[in-house]
Amino acid sequence: MHVRVKKLIGTLATVVFLIVYCLMVMVLAVKLLPGTSGVVQLLYYVVTGLIWVIPVGALISWMHR
């Protein structure tokens, strides 16, 4: 597979993944976080804000192989 095609597929997959991931994180936050303390909410957003890096990093690694 050509590098340009891999980068196109990887870019589109990244955009779609991030949109779906953000929507899922927001839905879970609405269901899980009401009534919790500010510290719990902060931890939730810190963890979910960093977790997306793992699959996107693997996708970028694939794109550059």
Q: Are the CB atoms for 64 and 33 separated by under 8 Å?
A: no
Sign of CA dihedral 58, 61, 47, 33: negative
- Give the tens place of pLDDT for each residue, 42-54: 999 999 999 999 9
pLDDT score for 39: 96
Percent of the chain whose predicted confidence (pLDDT) is above 90: 86
User: Where residue 2 falls among pLDDT bands split at 50, 70, 90?
Assistant: confident
**Amino acid letter for position 40:** V
- Give the tens place of pLDDT for each residue, 13-47: 999 999 999 999 999 999 999 999 999 999 999 99
